[in-house]
Structure 1
């Protein structure tokens, strides 16, 4: 995982050196590849190859559309078809679990910082973290919404810039409406407590999570310097 993140960070940094026109094309291609069935490593390997090609064409004074044509979506589809990715249910489940676990840890961190840290500063450790039904429903709705938005943007990355302002306004209204609806839906449920956890365990989970993130970041930076 660290190696993948290292390659991803390296690709992101290198892409900043592309000219403006090529960077826009590159960004659209990356967004489209991100929501494909390609594995994370396959994505980064393809993106690295794309960067090398783009830089070579820039040096030669050639335009990207002259080399791959105007239909960038078809170009990306051809790449994906050539790799023929086959994600197993287990691999997909693992990816979703990692996303959900990370999101849960971020939410725990926010709750801890704003709701519980002030009490801890005062020396009060005799309380529990209550995870209610409404919180669970809200989390599920937000996860579904975020997944749908990311997938939509990725699948339509080549055409988003051509969407009219009225259409963008309607999309924005739809997103805002979903948020409002999710708030009202959670109010329907009573604040039934699903699980109560001693705050000491929450502190441990948050601390271990951010310690892992810190070590991961240091490893990536160290790996980047050695290249």
Structure 2
């Protein structure tokens, strides 16, 4: 995220310490989680968060709770506030999504590279060329898409914990892992071979691209 967004995020995190009421803290957490799923950029998300923080903090000084200040329908309140802010353009959405995907892709690359190096250490005929299979690609896409779907579902249902229970999340993650294992077993078809240095370079390039996008985007 941009410098101004990072500064506002830091200020908001520090301002949360002003909230003393546990119920208010819980409500504020749910609101923050819900805002993360909205189609506004990170800077506007933090702006909304700051305004709500100030409302709740000022209300506490008057002896009021978040429920008394905001009302019973937190989702409707957030939607009304968000509706007043500019939405992200299609280009901004694509770039923001790419920025959010890159760290996950980089971690998966590091894990894959690590496993490949370990397998070569234990191999009788070690080589610095690694094979990328159809199962590897399928698993990477599935893990990233699945993770984003789970996170999005949790954020969108921040005020309805029954909609996305811990069991649902657990079984979803378990199913994704099971499918990945099966994919690696039943889709061993080689797509390309890459040198270890090329794989390491690709990992570094993905991280660099993430840092560039993160610095430019709100």
TM-score w.r.t. the length of structure 1 is 0.76
In 2, Cα distance between the equivalents of 1:182 and 1:58?
A: 49
Post-superposition offset of 1:150: 1.0
Q: Relative to structure 2, which stretch is displaced further, 18-27 or 125-134?
A: 125-134
2:189 corresponds to: 191
Q: Choose which of 195, 200, 204 in structure 2 pairs with 1:203.
A: 200
| 1:117-172, Cα deviation, whole Å (9 max, x unpaired) | 7979xxxx961343322111001111221121111111110110xx299x653553
Q: 1:225 maps to what in 2?
A: none
Residue 30 of structure 1 corresponds to: 32
- List gaps (5 residues or longer) in structure 1: 220-227
- What is the CA RMSD across the aligned residues, in angstroms? 3.4
- Residues 182 and 73 of structure 1: CA distance in aligned 2, closer, same or farther (over 3 Å): same
Asked whether the equivalents of residues 16 and 23 of structure 1 are also in contact (C-alpha less than 8 Å), the reply is: no
What is the aligned length?
209
| Cα distance in 2 for residues equivalent to 1:147 and 1:213 | 17
**1:111: which partner in 2?**
112
Equivalent residue number for residue 91 of structure 2? 90
How high is the TM-score relative to the length of structure 2? Answer: 0.78
Aligned to 1:180: 178
Task: State the alpha-carbon separation in 1 of the partners of residues 69 and 185 from structure 2.
Answer: 55
Distance 1:212 1:151, change over 3 A: closer
Q: Which residue of 2 aligns with 1:74?
A: 76
Task: Tell me what 2:101 maps to.
Answer: 100
Structure 2: runs of 5+ lacking an equivalent: none
- Per the alignment, in what secondary structure is the counterpart of residue 35 of structure 1? coil
Residue equivalent to 2:56: 54
The answer as to whether partners of 1:28 and 1:158 remain within 8 angstroms in 2 is: yes
* 2:110–2:203 Cα contact (<8 Å) kept: yes
* 2:135–2:184 CA contact under 8 A, matched in 1: yes
